[in-house]
Amino acid sequence: MYEPVTVPLWLFLPIAAFALWSLLDRLLIPSGRWFLRRRLNRLIDRVNRRLDVEIKPFQLTKRQVLIDRLVYDPQVVAAANDYARENNIPREAAMAEVHRYAREIVPTFNAYVYFRVGYSIARTVARFLYRVRLGFADARTLAGVPPNTAVVFVMNHRSNMDYVLVAFLAAERTTLSYAVGEWARIWPLQQLIKSMGAYFVRRNSNNPIYRRVLERYVHMATEAGVAQAMYPEGGLSRDGRLREPKLGLFDYMLKSFDPKGANDIMFIPVALNYDRVLEDRTLLRSLDGDAPRRSAWFAIRTALTFWFSQIGLMLRGRWFRFGYACVNFGAPISARDWLTAHAGETGGDLRGLDKDRRFEIVGRLAHDVMGRIAQLVPVLPVSLITTALLEALDANEGPLDELELKTRVSTLMADLEARGAKLYVPRADRDYAFHVGLRMLVLRRLVDENAEGLYAASASERPLLAYYANAVAHLR
């Protein structure tokens, strides 16, 4: 009875492995999950107490549950059936596409990653590269927003840093679910962005199944009150000017919106501006259709050269980061109130309208929001000085001394203030603002300073100077 039992090694190893797996699966892994879930719930409770807009249950729902809800949404299933009939393919093949798009779009929101990892990275990167400032915030931005209201931050798009900057500045008020483009679908950035609640958008896709899956996900998130952020321009500004809004996401949010229902949508205009956009030359180059295509090696070499030059400036004590980055938040626009006031005989209900009529109304709302954003664009030192110098260059006036240039900038500031523009004056010191803006341009060799202390815009850099002047050109 007590004699040892001999087991062959080939049998003992599977038995030991099975026993170890059973121990992990039945005891250690559930205990670990319970411990992590308990800590996560405490974090969510603590965060919700200080947020103006709380984390919604929709964001905490398991991803697979959301994918299943999206895949078997009646409108998505109907779109898959129509697609299968029109293209003479099996229904299963169409549904396979639905599954693939749903997995691509639906994020995996993780509050711990958002507030402990994402927020820390955003804050560190933003403060390392820029002097980050909140220039203006309307007192009504998030004050008293009802719990059943979906908040949508609508922003101009000047740089890929926009995502980092706004996520950092808005983290004390709410979590943001971004609509991000294909650029973010690279490993490991994709996993981090999805963990922070962002969803991917194929901006130029005309696939009807994809458009319907995206539409229904946006509808689900909006109906659940998830705070979202979007760039209606559809991409980065190539020349520095504001672009015409695209209506896709606006339409997805409003297509099934019930103005008499319990839920409302608040569009909050947000405007950003920078003293230096890291992608400025690349964006301008993209406007030239005849420009030769650069190789990946050229891009890597240029990036390394740029950052080594910045390190050299740091070592010599001449690195002043990339100037100021400023964000302004405007007053919210209620979709219910706007549609009731502007949608005429429809009474604000767009659900029964055909596409053309609905897009006409949605387009007016989008332009109204973009108009608010245009008025909120922060006027920064570099934009002021480039505007003054380009006017002198276009008038063939020759170099200006410091006093004359300062006088022109002061006149320009007074004119913009009279028009209601939002000027950001660092340290509330206009003389300091003038000098930091001029220093930035001289260090970048966009402005030439001769031996007599006279300043002139570099003629060869005119397109780049115009890029920064264009950021505020609409305010004049």
212 pLDDT exceeds 90?
yes
Q: Is the dihedral of CA 283, 288, 289, 291 positive or negative?
A: negative
- Cα–Cα dist 291/309, whole Å: 25
User: What's the mean per-residue pLDDT of the chain?
Assistant: 85
Q: Give the tokens for residue 209.
A: 């199944």
pTM of the model: 0.86
CA nearest to 53, candidates 227, 223, 270: 227
Contact in structure between 66 and 103 (CB atoms under 8 Å): no
Q: Average pLDDT of 174-191?
A: 68
Q: pLDDT tens digit string along 458-473?
A: 989 999 999 999 999 9
User: Amino acid identity of 155?
Assistant: M
- Strand segments, DSSP code E, in 82-208 are 131-137, 149-155, 177-180, 199-200
pLDDT score, position 42: 65
- Cα–Cα dist 386/469, whole Å: 6
Which residues are paired to 449 by β-bridges?
A: 455
pLDDT confidence bin for 397, thresholds 50/70/90: confident
pLDDT score, position 474: 94
Give me the residue label for tokens 């804050």: 123
pLDDT confidence bin for 61, thresholds 50/70/90: confident
Q: pLDDT tens digit string along 12-42?
A: 788 778 777 776 666 655 655 555 556 555 6
Q: Average pLDDT of 443-457?
A: 90
Residues 6+ apart with CB under 8 A from 390: 457, 462, 465, 466, 469
Q: Which residue has the higher pLDDT, 143 or 33?
A: 143
Give me the residue label for tokens 């971004």: 178
pLDDT score, position 215: 93
Q: Give the tokens for residue 112.
A: 């711990």
Burial 390-418 (b: 16+ CB within 10 A, else e): bebbeeeeebbeeeebbebbeebbeebee
Q: Average pLDDT of 407-429?
A: 94
Burial 106-124 (b: 16+ CB within 10 A, else e): bbebbbebbbeebbeebbe
pLDDT confidence bin for 4, thresholds 50/70/90: confident
CA nearest to 255, candidates 209, 206, 211: 211
Q: pLDDT tens digit string along 217-269?
A: 999 999 888 888 899 998 889 999 999 999 989 999 998 888 888 889 999 99
Element (H, E) at 271: strand 264-274
Contact in structure between 387 and 170 (CB atoms under 8 Å): no
pLDDT score, position 210: 92
